[in-house]
Chains A and B, each alone.
Chain A
């Protein structure tokens, strides 16, 4: 009986422990090197374009570079803990360096129209995804819903954006969004009726 009790207790403890514990793989060291090196290279190019670079920026960038080198050494030695520590430190220095460059306001162009276009392109991409999701739901659930209008509106918005008609594209995006929201409500209503019926 004692052995049975021990067996049950062991079984229960094993079940409890096995459930919640998640095993985390060590980070891929190549990933750390890739991200830090990319940040380093781009900051290097950004700094090279600044006339009269402040010493503070050079100092911070060098600190980040030193940490990147230390990280690469740790990676070569397969020292994961040290590599992670140097990675975080390097990225922190690069972030501060980037913020300092930002404060100089010498890099990058602030073209408002370009920003608007990028925003509209993103909206169109999201609407396409929303449209695809709803179409997929309609097909899966055998709901006959006509998505031609949303497809046309999105295509037209894309064309207008390509030809620089930003205002027209914006209006079409609003219309397409409204259509898809209505479509969502209709599909939800049909699903509700089916499940309650």
Chain B
């Protein structure tokens, strides 16, 4: 229907065509909108539902896989592909910790979800790691972002994807990686780790002891060995190993020098004091004095440092945390287990040590650390280092309002 609105002064006729447009287009557009809206819920469910994928690699090349995803509670079962063909210790739980039964066919697990809205899958597989010589390679092609925890005393020597983040948790590298295919090459027992440094020091010590027991004096080697031990105590494993190797070489040189020297018959019982012996005495004295000074400093520091509990810290501060209800309101999409952590922190006055959280929820260190980092990313908590411990504090939500 064409409607004449008004005749403009310049004698132009203005015609409003909205009724024509709506009449012709309205019905299909609305229909298409509803179809798209319906489809969007499926697309969001398939792609946008929260997923967690964590890999923990063990020293023998077996990988523990943890996968968590939301599932349609109206569907009777849920199928997912597992990584690898050899699966051990498979456990599937729902969000309440109820064990769900599952069937495995090839590398697909079908879980009877029984109305669950979230499932957690744990299993071990040796199929993600291959070994060539002393190099181990982790390979995965993941549809989602994931994290990988490497074994202790390993160093990455190759990586085919740029990591999103890396942290050191319990002396292990925890790396976050984006979705897609990636290879991580790492080696064990490499130079510069505590393991190899200990071995090198032990070998040097044994060799020097053997020489000393046969009457060969090794003052220079002993001095170098003390340097190695000092570096080890400082956590400088690479230096410690290097010093230990030098100590062994020095001991070898001193042994050769002792063999090449003809035995001297002194007319009296006084042993001649060589410059190296003097050096040894000086170094020994210096070492004792340094150790004494270090001991005094440590004792003084220990006396002055009083380890406080999180509640004691709270008493001594003006910190006013957010209420848990306030956080839940501002962050309605938080996971149930994260809400429980927030509730506990809130009960404790808004701040607790990470170790307290682990005790409360009986969670392994890495799992709790991931949960805390997740809350940190959500701007719900902040992490502060206090007395070598992680103090987890609820953030003030006023800024986010």
Contact = CB atoms under 8 A, between A and B. Distances in A.
Interface of A: 1-2, 5, 8-9, 12-13, 15-16, 19-20, 22, 24-25, 27-28, 31-32, 34-35, 38-39, 41-43, 45-46, 49, 84, 87-88, 91-92, 94-95, 97-99, 102-103, 105, 107-108, 110, 118-119, 121-123, 125-127, 129-130, 132-134, 136-137, 140-141, 180, 184, 187-188, 191-192, 195
A35 B148 CA distance: 14
A130 B91 contact: yes
Interface of B: 18, 21-22, 25-26, 29-30, 33, 36-37, 39-40, 43-44, 47-48, 58-60, 62, 64, 89, 91, 93, 96-101, 114, 122, 124, 132-135, 145, 151, 155-166, 175, 178, 185, 187, 189-192, 238, 241-242, 362, 364
Contacts of A91: 156-160
Given A20-B48, A195-B114, A31 B165 contact: yes
B162 A27 contact: yes
A191 B99 contact: yes
B132 A191 contact: no
A14 to B, nearest CB: 10
A155 B60 CA distance: 20
A141 B166 contact: no
B72 to A, nearest CB: 15
B58 A126 contact: yes
Given A19-B48, A191-B99, A5 B22 contact: yes
Contacts of B362: 132, 136
B201 to A, nearest CB: 16
A38 B155 contact: yes
Contact of A15 (B40, B97, B135, B238): B40
Contact of A49 (B26, B156, B187, B191): B191
Given A45-B190, A87-B159, A98-B187, 18 more contacts: A8-B29, A16-B36, A22-B48, A22-B145, A42-B192, A43-B157, A45-B238, A88-B161, A91-B160, A94-B158, A95-B157, A97-B157, A118-B59, A125-B58, A136-B362, A180-B89, A188-B99, A192-B101
B91 A184 contact: yes
A84 B161 CA distance: 9
A35 B241 CA distance: 21
Contacts of B48: 19-20, 22
Contacts of A87: 159, 162
Contacts of B241: 45
A121 B100 CA distance: 29
B40 A46 contact: no
Nearest to B157: A98
Interface centre among B37, B122, B187 (most CB of A within 10 A): B187
B25 A5 contact: yes
Contact of B189 (A31, A95, A108): A108
Nearest to A13: B36
Nearest to A87: B162
Given A16-B36, A87-B162, A88-B162, A140 B98 contact: yes
A8 B30 contact: yes
A123 B43 contact: no
Given A43-B157, A95-B157, A187 B191 contact: no
10 contacts: A2-B22, A16-B40, A94-B158, A110-B134, A118-B59, A127-B89, A136-B362, A137-B91, A137-B93, A137-B98
A99 B29 contact: no
Contacts of A108: 134, 187, 189
B183 to A, nearest CB: 8
A34 B163 CA distance: 11
Please name the 9 residue pairs, one residue from A and one from B, whose CB atoms are nearest each other, closest first. Answer: A95-B158, A19-B44, A140-B97, A102-B133, A119-B60, A122-B58, A20-B47, A122-B60, A45-B191
Contact of B43 (A19, A34, A35): A19
A105 B58 CA distance: 24
A129 B185 CA distance: 26
Contacts of A5: 22, 25-26, 29-30
A108 to B, nearest CB: 4
A133 B159 CA distance: 32
B257 to A, nearest CB: 23
Nearest to A31: B166
Contacts of B18: 1-2
B152 to A, nearest CB: 11
Nearest to B238: A45
A85 to B, nearest CB: 9
Q: Which residue, B36, B44, B93, B99, has most C-beta atoms of chain A within 10 A?
A: B99
